Amino acid sequence: MPYFCLNNINWNDEGLIPVIAQEIDTGKVLMLAWMNWEALEMTIESGHAVYWSRSRKCLWQKGEQSGHIQIVKAIYLDCDNDAVLLQIEQIGGIACHTGRRHCFFKRLEEKNWIIVEPILKHPQSIYKNTDEQYS
Amino acid sequence: MPYFCLNNINWNDEGLIPVIAQEIDTGKVLMLAWMNWEALEMTIESGHAVYWSRSRKCLWQKGEQSGHIQIVKAIYLDCDNDAVLLQIEQIGGIACHTGRRHCFFKRLEEKNWIIVEPILKHPQSIYKNTDEQYS
C-alpha cells in the first residue's frame, strides 16, 4: 500500500525534511538528521531509522556499520508539516559518530562552546572505514 | 563583546540553522524553528528565544504577542555545528501556534497522521492578529 501520508509533508527545495531523534526512555535529544521520501518510507517499513546523508548524498541506514541502529517507537509530524520527531531506542547507547551518547555535546558557556560529554567509544573502533563514519 | 562563538556555526545557504526547543523540566520536544545570526545573538543576549520566521522573513521574538515566551536555560551545538538544541522553560505551557502544548501533535498510526494532543487555548484568543499568529 503506498504511503499517501508522505504527501502531507512539506519537503524542502531539496526534497528533505529535518528529523529529530529523541530517546524514548530518557527524553534525551540525540541528534538532528535529514530524510527524503525514500528514507522516511524505509524507516516506516523497517522500523529502523534511515536518513539521507547530505554530505555523502545517499541513504544512510543508521547503524549499518556501527551496529548503533535506532529502533523507531513513534513518528510525529509538526504543525507546519515541515519537521519530524522520531522517538527511538538507541542500540549501543551511542548516537553520535564521534563516539558520544548524542550529538549535542557542546554547551554555550560564557560565549564559548564547551564539550560536556565524554567519548564512550573511539570512532576508530566503531567504524572500519572512516569515509563511512556517519553510518 | 562580539559573539565569536557564532563563527563556529555552519549556517546553511540562507544563513540559517535549525533549532530544537526542548522543555528542560519534562524533556518534551516542543518545536523546531530556525535562527539566523542575529536571532541567536539576541537569544543569547536576552535569555529569551528569538527565531527567524522563514514565512514572514523577519525576526520573531517567541511570545511577543501571545506571552508564550521561552526562557533559555541552556544552548547546545551538535557535532557538525549545523543544529542547535535549546533547553527552555515554556511560559504559559503552550509552544504551538495552534494552541497546543507543543508542535509535534500528529502521530503516524497505520499510515495516517492522527492528532493526539488537545488544543489548550484557541488561537483566536491567543493572537489579536492572525497574520502574526506565529509570535
Question: Percentage of chain B with pLDDT > 90?
Answer: 87
For A125, the enclosing helix (H) or strand (E) is helix A123-126
Place of cell 537569544: B43
Integer-rounded Cα Rg, in Å, for chain B is 15
Note whether B3 contacts A27, CB cutoff 8 Å.
Answer: no
For A74, the enclosing helix (H) or strand (E) is strand A70-77
SS3 B30: strand
- Chain A residues with CB under 8 Å of B28 CB are 27
Coarse DSSP helix, strand, coil percentages of chain A, rounded to the nearest 5 percent: 20, 35, 45
Question: What values do phi and psi take at A7, rounded to 5?
Answer: -65, -20
- Chain B residues with CB under 8 Å of A115 CB are none
Length of chain B: 135
What pTM was estimated for this model as a whole?
Answer: 0.94
Instruction: Output the pLDDT for position B90.
Output: 98
Per-residue pLDDT for B131 more than 90? no
What band does B125 get if pLDDT is binned at 50, 70 and 90?
A: confident
Average pLDDT in the B32-36 region?
98
Question: Percentage of chain A with pLDDT > 90?
Answer: 87
Residues making up the annotated binding site of A for Zn(2+) are 79, 96, 103
What band does B2 get if pLDDT is binned at 50, 70 and 90?
A: confident
Per residue in A72-116, pLDDT (tens digit) is 999 999 999 999 999 999 999 999 999 999 999 999 999 999 999
Note whether A26 contacts B27, CB cutoff 8 Å.
Answer: yes
Q: For strand A17-23 and strand A84-90, is the pairing parallel, antiparallel, or unpaired?
A: parallel
Residues making up the annotated binding site of A for Mg(2+) are 78, 80, 82
SS3 A8: helix
Integer-rounded Cα Rg, in Å, for chain A is 15
Mutate to test the interface with A, among B5, B22, B78, B117 (most CBs of A within 10 A): B78
Range with the poorest average pLDDT among A2-16, A26-40, B24-38: A2-16
Mutate to test the interface with B, among A29, A97, A117, A133 (most CBs of B within 10 A): A29
Cα–Cα distance, A120 to A36 (Å, whole number): 30
Instruction: Output the pLDDT for position A2.
Output: 72
Cα–Cα distance, A75 to A48 (Å, whole number): 11
Per-residue pLDDT for B134 more than 80? no
Per-residue pLDDT for B130 more than 60? no
Instruction: Output the pLDDT for position B9.
Output: 97
Cα–Cα distance, A57 to B102 (Å, whole number): 32
Average pLDDT of every residue of chain A: 93
Per-residue pLDDT for A135 more than 80? no
Place of cell 522563514: B54
Residues 6+ apart with CB under 8 A from A76: A84, A85, A86, A87, B104, B105, B106, B107, B108
What band does B119 get if pLDDT is binned at 50, 70 and 90?
A: very high
Note whether A104 contacts B77, CB cutoff 8 Å.
Answer: yes
Q: What architecture does CATH give domain B14-125? A: Roll (3.10)
Residue B67 has a CB neighbour count (10 Å cut-off) of 10
Question: Percentage of chain A with pLDDT > 70?
Answer: 93
Cross-chain CB nearest to B106 (options A20, A77, A100): A77
**Closest-CA residue in chain A for B28?**
A27
Instruction: Output the pLDDT for position A130.
Output: 52
Note whether A113 contacts B8, CB cutoff 8 Å.
Answer: yes
Per-residue pLDDT for A3 more than 90? no
Average pLDDT in the B51-69 region?
95
Task: Return the ∠ at Cα B105 (arms to B111 and A13), rounded to 5°.
Answer: 70
Instruction: Output the pLDDT for position B127.
Output: 80
Per-residue pLDDT for A132 more than 90? no
Question: What values do phi and psi take at B130, rounded to 5?
Answer: -65, -20
Per-residue pLDDT for A20 more than 90? yes
ipTM exceeding 0.90, yes/no: yes
Instruction: Output the pLDDT for position A1.
Output: 55
Cα–Cα distance, B14 to B36 (Å, whole number): 8
Cα–Cα distance, A43 to B134 (Å, whole number): 31
- Residue B45's alpha-carbon distances to A111, A112, B2, B14, B39, in angstroms, are 10, 14, 11, 23, 10
Query: Nearest to residue A23, comparing CAs of A101, A106, A118?
Result: A101
